Structure 1
Amino acid sequence: MTRHLTAGVDGSPESRWAAAWAADEAVLRNLPLRIVHADDWPVSVAVPVDGFATQHRWSDEMLTEVTNNLRERHPGLEITTQRLSARPPAALAAEASEAELLVLGSRGLSRITGFLIGSVGLATIGATERPVVLVRAAEQPDDGPPPARIGPYRDLIVGVDVNQSCDALLAFAFDEAARRDCTLRAVYGWSLPPVLSPDPTLDQGVRREVAAEVGRALADLLMPWRQKFPSVDVVERALVGAPGEQLAYCTTDADLVVVGRRIRKSPLGAHIGPITHAVIHHSPAPVAVVAHD
Structure 2
Amino acid sequence: MLSPVVAGVDGSAESLAAAAWAAREAGRRDRPLHLVHAWDRHPRRQEREIADAARRHLARRAVRRAEERVRAECPDVRLTDEQPAGPAVDALVKAADQADVMVLGSRGLSGFTGFLVGSVALGVVARATRPVVLVRAGEEAADEHLPAGDGSASTDTGHRDVVLAIDVGDPCDEVVEFAFEAARLRHARLRAVHAWHTAAGPLGLGSGDIGRVDDPERGEEWLGFLQAVLQVWRDKYPDVEVLATVVEERPTTALVRAATGASLLVVGHRLAERPVGPRTGPVTHAALQHVGCPVAVVPHR
Give the structure 2 partner of residue 55 of structure 1. 55
Over the residues paired in the alignment, what is the CA RMSD in angstroms? 2.4
CA distance in 2, matches of 1:40, 1:117: 20
Identity score, percent: 37
How far is the alpha carbon of 1:179 from its aligned partner? 1.2
Question: Residue by residue, what CA displacement relative to the aligned partner does 1:39-96 show, whole Å, maximum 9, x if unpaired?
Answer: 1454233645322211211211221122123112222111111101011110000001
Match of 1:172 among 164, 168, 178: 178
CA distance in 1, matches of 2:141, 2:216: 45
CA distance in 2, matches of 1:181, 1:11: 32
Q: Is contact 2:264-2:293 (8 Å) kept?
A: yes
Alignment of 1:1-293 (within 5 A): 1-45=1-45, 47-107=47-107, 110=110, 117-138=117-138, 145=140, 152-193=158-199, 207-268=215-276, 271-293=279-301
How far is the alpha carbon of 1:129 from its aligned partner? 1.1
Q: Which runs of 4+ in 1 moved over 6 A?
A: none
Q: Which has the larger radius of gyration?
A: 1
How far is the alpha carbon of 1:268 from its aligned partner? 2.9
Q: Is contact 2:117-2:289 (8 Å) kept?
A: no
TM-score normalized by structure 2?
0.85
SS class of match (1:222): helix
Q: Is contact 1:262-1:271 (8 Å) kept?
A: no
- 5+ long unaligned stretches in structure 1: 196-204
SS class of match (1:226): helix
Give the partner amino acid of 1:54.
Answer: A
CA distance in 1, matches of 2:71, 2:63: 12
Change in CA separation of 1:270 and 1:60 when aligned onto 2, cut-off 3 Å: closer
CA distance in 1, matches of 2:6, 2:291: 22
Q: Is contact 1:260-1:291 (8 Å) kept?
A: yes
CA distance in 2, matches of 1:260, 1:209: 28
Give the structure 2 partner of residue 199 of structure 1. none
CA distance in 1, matches of 2:51, 2:299: 38
CA distance in 1, matches of 2:171, 2:193: 15
CA distance in 2, matches of 1:194, 1:273: 14
- 5+ long unaligned stretches in structure 2: 145-154, 202-212
How far is the alpha carbon of 1:206 from its aligned partner? 8.5
Change in CA separation of 1:108 and 1:129 when aligned onto 2, cut-off 3 Å: farther
Give the structure 2 partner of residue 202 of structure 1. none
CA distance in 1, matches of 2:66, 2:77: 13
SS class of match (2:83): strand
Change in CA separation of 1:206 and 1:77 when aligned onto 2, cut-off 3 Å: closer
Give the partner amino acid of 1:122.
Answer: L
Q: Is contact 1:108-1:281 (8 Å) kept?
A: no
Question: Residue by residue, what CA displacement relative to the aligned partner does 1:165-223 show, whole Å, maximum 9, x if unpaired?
Answer: 3110001000111111110000111122579xxxxxxxxx9922111111111111111
